[in-house]
Amino acid sequence: MAESTHQFHAETCKLLHILTHSLYTNHEIFLRELLSNASDALEKVRFLQSTGGEVRDADLPLEISITTDKDAHVLTIADTGIGMSEQEMIDNLGTIAHSGSEQFLRAREAEKPKAEPEAKTGEIVNGEEGESKPEEEPIVEHDDSVPSDASQIIGRFGIGFYSVFMVAERVEVTSVPAQGDATPHVWTSDGTGSYTLRSLEGAEAEGLKRGTRIKIFLRDDAHEYQEKYRLEGVIRKHSNFLPFAIQLDGSRVNTTAALWREPKFSITKEQYNDFYKYLTYDQTAPLDVIHFSVDAPVQFNCLLYIPGTAVDIFDERKDEWGPDLYVRRVLIDHQNKDLLPHWFAFMKGVVDTEDLPLNISRETLQENVVMRKISQTIVRQLLTHFERMAKNDPEKYESVWKLHGKYIKFGFDSFQFRDRLLPLLRYYTTAAEDKYSSLDDYVSRMKADQKEIWYVAASSMEAAKVNPHLGQFKRKGVEVLFLTDPVDEFSLESLMEYQKHPFKSIEQADAKALEAYPDIEDAEPRPEPLKEEDKPGIDALLAAIKKILGDQVKDVRLSEKPIDAPACLVSPDGVSSSMEKLMRAMQKTEGIPKKILEINPDHALVRSLMQMCQADAEDETLKDMVSSLFDSTLLLDGYMNDPYAMAERSMRLLRQAAGWYTGLRKQQ
């Protein structure tokens, strides 16, 4: 039995120290790296067998086995893969950044024919071809019928093995090559200055017929990795979808298939649903599945789900979104937020890429440009899917919108995709209060010569329906969008227009905005306009109101806008009430803002107040009624004044009204 000692180069020692102490931030990554190397070794055997090559003990199952010895604190990982000869162990284990997998792939690449057939282009979602825009890179469909080849090999950098020294005080690697010299060799090192290499004879190989066995003598602070539950957790987290069985102390761990790599036509709905439950722990079936594979501009597989339950990512779970990012079935990043924009944050799923460059630790991406290409391709596919759903199955799309529309609305900040997002927006309107309408629906119902798309923004449908400006629009039969989410008005203001029709709040409508349209047939009759001789009386009322309210209001004036209430509050700078509340919330401004109180001179209540003011401008009941009117306008505007004073005034007015009513009854 020959044994030799080899020294690491000084630079290699320094690099090894960096690898094991600084580069990897999570010690459990060592198991992911070793399992990925084992998977590569098995993939090489499978490739050789599929191309007619001969390997030793061809009937051996292609699998990875992990065993633990708690007494000796040893963790052993073995595979029946390609194995290594003595020289390969020197090259691969004695030289950092020398990748046997990379060398294997280069050899296979050199054997390929020079010319490749041109691939078909087209945007593919669930096997259907869509339109490819000229300004976008063509998306090339992946052919599911192409058999597995050497491209499934994971390793590229030749350094993952050395992560084992984060948990090992000593490592012993025994390997038997699948081809050529079958003499097993043992490589041993403590990860410092040197390693030993010796050959084994006969029984010393301890039953290893082909492949590689790694014995890890765990450090005192790494004994957790001899516990079965800990190893199972790491395997399920990072390596659960490797294409070969992983046996842990005789039991298989990875029993779930990498469904996203399976041909779409071979997957049943039940399989999709089961995988969704496995991935998300959500027992409600998803509303829909988007599964596609792309070969260009980058190569990746994507399996995304539209959840069947509402997703909360704005509050407690604001950081828990994004699909899981895999590279050749190995988890690189859980919930990667670079793959989808925030307005698709409700989507769940997996993205597995072939072309993503990684740094040597696989924990940080090297080239963001590749991630951007993947993200843009996914977004285009999703938009196409939603467009088809909205057109071909509007009821299903309405279900999606009810659950997740609040996120899609945030796409207003995407200059690249906002034109495609606008037709996907849905709102309740005065024309259809119980059914969502698209902007196309609204435009199709617009009045002749109507230019604006009108909306009313409020905290709820109930609040929107009692907006004082809405009555005149209903009287004219002009449709109005109900905006009830805080982001709604902000998004429409940012989008500005749709099909050259500007978005405009009904609070910003001028007096002449609706004059051209006749009243609808069942509109309530209008009150008689204010007579010329009554104008001094209304001026006196305005002065009295201003005196009663004092510094609670900025000013009191007659309304020139079409309102259907006795009064309303308007912002001095013309901002709508909902937008003002949103801005104040963002600025964390508290208190009730001072606004202008606009009075509707045609309202019956205002006419009665005018008569009371003419009789006695200092009447206490008049003061209570003016204060109650102001409280009501504040409530409609979303604010609450002094609730105790408001309740007391209401009780006084009720007592007075009851007394008047009783007196009238006695007179009768």
pLDDT digits (tens, 9 = 90+) for 574-632: 666 666 656 555 555 566 778 888 888 888 888 888 888 888 888 888 888 888 888 88
Confidence of residue 145 (pLDDT cuts 50, 70, 90): very low
- CATH 3.40.50.11260 residue ranges for the chain: 425-526
What are the phi and psi torsion angles at 503 (to 5°)?
Answer: -80, 135
Cα separation, 476 vs 57, in Å, equals 86
What interhelical angle do 100-111 and 29-50 show, nearest 10?
A: 30
Give, as one character, the DSSP assignment of residue 358: B
- What is the mean pLDDT of the segment spanning 534-547? 86
Confidence of residue 295 (pLDDT cuts 50, 70, 90): confident
- CATH 3.30.230.80 residue ranges for the chain: 259-397
**Least confident interval from 22-31, 87-96, 102-111, 420-429:** 102-111
- Please determine, for residue 298, whether its predicted confidence score (pLDDT) is greater than 90: no
DSSP 3-state of 633: helix
In 10 A of CB 325, how many CB atoms?
A: 24
The radius of gyration of the chain from alpha carbons, rounded to an integer in Å, stands at 36
- CATH 3.30.565.10 residue ranges for the chain: 3-99+155-252
Structure token pair of residue 590: 């508290």
Confidence of residue 140 (pLDDT cuts 50, 70, 90): low
Highest mean pLDDT among 222-236, 463-477, 627-641: 222-236
403-451 pLDDT, tens digit per residue, is: 999 899 988 888 889 899 999 999 999 998 888 999 999 999 999 889 9
Predicted local distance difference test score (pLDDT) of residue 130 = 39
Confidence of residue 133 (pLDDT cuts 50, 70, 90): very low
Confidence of residue 123 (pLDDT cuts 50, 70, 90): very low
- What is the mean pLDDT of the segment spanning 557-586? 71
Q: Which CATH entry fits the domain spanning 528-569+591-668: 3.40.50.1110, 1.10.357.10, 3.30.70.20, 1.20.120.790?
A: 1.20.120.790
Provide the mean pLDDT of the chain.
81
Predicted local distance difference test score (pLDDT) of residue 124 = 37
Highest mean pLDDT among 317-321, 376-380, 613-617: 376-380
- Please determine, for residue 214, whether its predicted confidence score (pLDDT) is greater than 90: yes
Cα separation, 325 vs 219, in Å, equals 31
The label of the residue with tokens 């024309």 reads: 431
Predicted local distance difference test score (pLDDT) of residue 529 = 73
Confidence of residue 183 (pLDDT cuts 50, 70, 90): confident
**Least confident interval from 151-155, 271-275, 411-415, 456-460:** 151-155
Confidence of residue 115 (pLDDT cuts 50, 70, 90): very low
- CATH 1.20.120.790 residue ranges for the chain: 528-569+591-668
> Diameter of the chain by CA atoms?
126
Work out whether the CA dihedral 196, 197, 200, 205 comes out positive or negative: positive
Cα separation, 305 vs 318, in Å, equals 19
CA angle 283, 286, 291 (to 5 degrees): 130
- Please determine, for residue 498, whether its predicted confidence score (pLDDT) is greater than 50: yes
245-257 pLDDT, tens digit per residue, is: 999 999 999 988 8
Runs of H (alpha helix) within 466-534: 470-476, 486-495
DSSP 3-state of 438: strand
Highest mean pLDDT among 288-302, 305-319, 586-600: 288-302
Is 425-526 CATH 3.40.50.11260? yes
Distances (CA, A) of 37 to 82, 261, 342, 392: 11, 20, 35, 47
Predicted local distance difference test score (pLDDT) of residue 205 = 59
Q: Which H or E element spans position 52?
A: none
Cα separation, 256 vs 278, in Å, equals 9
Cα separation, 357 vs 372, in Å, equals 13
Q: Cis omega (within 30 of 0) on the bond before 297?
A: yes
Predicted local distance difference test score (pLDDT) of residue 147 = 41
| Closest to 291 (Cα-Cα) out of 265, 324, 255 | 265
Runs of H (alpha helix) within 257-411: 269-280, 368-392, 394-408
- What is the mean pLDDT of the segment spanning 111-137? 43
Whether pTM exceeds 0.85: no
Q: Which CATH entry fits the domain spanning 259-397: 3.40.50.1820, 3.30.230.80, 3.20.20.60, 3.60.21.70?
A: 3.30.230.80
Predicted local distance difference test score (pLDDT) of residue 100 = 45
Cα separation, 306 vs 345, in Å, equals 10
Predicted local distance difference test score (pLDDT) of residue 70 = 95
Q: What burial class does residue 605 get, using C-beta atoms within 10 Å of its C-beta: 0-12 exposed, 13-18 middle, 19+ buried? A: middle
Beginning with the edge strand found earlier in the chain, give each strand of the sheet holding 481-483 in spatial order.
432-438, 426-429, 481-483, 453-457, 501-505, 497-498
Predicted local distance difference test score (pLDDT) of residue 365 = 55
In percent, the amount of the chain with pLDDT more than 70 equals 79
What are the phi and psi torsion angles at 431 (to 5°)?
Answer: -85, -20
Distances (CA, A) of 127 to 123, 144, 265, 348, 396: 9, 10, 9, 20, 20
Which position has the higher pLDDT, 219 or 637?
Answer: 219
Q: Class of 3-99+155-252 per CATH?
A: alpha beta
Q: Which H or E element spans position 21?
A: none
Task: Count CA atoms closer than 13 A to 542's CA, side-chain side.
Answer: 18
- Please determine, for residue 144, whether its predicted confidence score (pLDDT) is greater than 80: no
Structure token pair of residue 557: 């004036």
Work out whether the CA dihedral 405, 406, 407, 413 comes out positive or negative: positive
Predicted local distance difference test score (pLDDT) of residue 636 = 77
Which position has the higher pLDDT, 205 or 635?
Answer: 635
